[in-house]
Each structure stands twice: as C-alpha cells, then as structure tokens.
Amino acid sequence: MYGLVNRAIKGLVQSRFGDAAWNTICQRADLDPGGFVAMEVYDDAVTYRLVEAASETLELPAETILEAFGEYWTVYTIEEGYGDLVSLMGSTLNEFLDNLDAMHERIGDAMPDLVPPSFDREALEDGSSILHYYSKRDGLAPMVIGLIKGLAKRFDTSIEIELLDGSAPGHQKFRLREGASES
C-alpha cells in the first residue's frame, strides 16, 4: 500500500500513545521508526506487520486497532490535502458511499499503483442499506467499520453498522442503519 497509509498508522499511534509506543512498535515490526514516504508503494506486509506489532505493544486486539485506524483515516486524509476531493464526492453519507469507487479512481490518477477496494450500496425498502465491500486484501473489515463511523461523524449523522454472515473471501457485506442527526 502507499506510504500514506503507514504514515497514518504512525500518526494515530503517536497522537494517542506517544513516541515511545511508536518506537517500540517499529522495533517489534523490524521497521525504521523514521517513517514512510506518502507516495511510495510499500509491500502490504509492512502494513500488516505494523498492525500486528501495535496490537502486541498496546495490548489491544488487531480489530480494535484497524477500526480506530479507519476512523482516524477520515480525518487524516483531509488534513493531508484530500479535503476538496472528499467535499466533491457527496453532501450526504449515502451519496458519499455511492461515490467511493469514483473517489478512489480519482486518487488513482495521482497514485497509479493504487489497488483500491470497491463498494456497492444496495438501498433497502426499510431505509437501511447493504454495503458490499470488495477487496483483494484480507482482514480489513474492521477498518471499514471505523471508516463508516468516521464518515457518519463527518456528515453529522449516527449509524449502526453490522458485519453480516455469509461473506465470501474478497466480498463482505455490512448492514447500515442511519439514525437521526445528532446535532
């Protein structure tokens, strides 16, 4: 994955747990604590090693770290200069979710080696949705949960999100129920 992702993991760890925790995690993962170049591609194994080492060091399940990371990503990417793109992609949560593939496609213009996920939202009659998540990578469903929670905050709404059974490798499904605005 692009270094932007690993940099965000660093930002999350340093802001919540401090520099010492980050240094320990890098030592455990056998990585240079100096950091990553945002626009350089790193092996996915680097990202998985970071998450595993963070899980061991912070004594938190990897799923908890991935979920926190997903939520952090929705703020981090805006700070890193992607705010205009995010604003263009929708003014409601559902509109934004419907545009996720278009957004990653635009990001791919600047990051030609991007291997993005793909999403497809199915609107149900009761007002809830099934969000289909397609990925070439394993184990990132908790990150999607965090991403959706972060997006709900951004659009000032509340959301219930549930990973559904029966997911096939590379294709997972979530049920989303959007609630009343919290503001």
Question: Binding residue for ligand HEM (CB under 6 A) from 2, 22, 72, 174?
Answer: 2
Of 24 and 103, which has the nearer Cβ to ligand HEM? 103
Written as one letter, the residue type at 177 is R
Report residue 172: phi and psi, to 5°: -120, 155
Q: Which helix (DSSP H) or strand (DSSP E) does residue 33 occupy?
A: none
Of 57 and 74, which has the nearer Cβ to ligand HEM? 74
Of 9 and 24, which has the nearer Cβ to ligand HEM? 9
Please state the closest distance from residue 163 (CB atom) to ligand HEM, in A: 13
Long-range Cβ contact pairs of 107-116 (< 8 A, separation 24 or more): 107/82, 110/39, 111/2, 111/39, 113/2, 113/41, 114/2, 115/1
In whole angstroms, what is the distance from residue 167 CA to residue 169 CA? 7
Contact track, ligand HEM, 135-164, x by CB under 6 A: xxx--x--xx--x---x-------------
Which residues on neighbouring strands pair with residue 130, listed in sequence order? 122, 175
Of 19 and 162, which has the nearer Cβ to ligand HEM? 162
In whole angstroms, what is the distance from residue 98 CA to residue 89 CA? 9
In the region spanning residues 48 to 107, those forming contacts with ligand HEM, defined by CB under 6 A, are 74, 77, 82, 85-86, 100, 104, 107
Place of tokens 């600047």: 110
Question: Binding residue for ligand HEM (CB under 6 A) from 11, 90, 117, 146?
Answer: 117
Please state the closest distance from residue 55 (CB atom) to ligand HEM, in A: 18
38 touching ligand HEM, by CB under 6 A: no
Of 71, 70, 68, 52, whose CA–CA distance to 17 is shortest?
A: 68
User: Which residues make up the interface to ligand HEM (CB under 6 A)?
Assistant: 1-2, 4-5, 74, 77, 82, 85-86, 100, 104, 107, 111, 114-117, 135-137, 140, 143-144, 147, 151
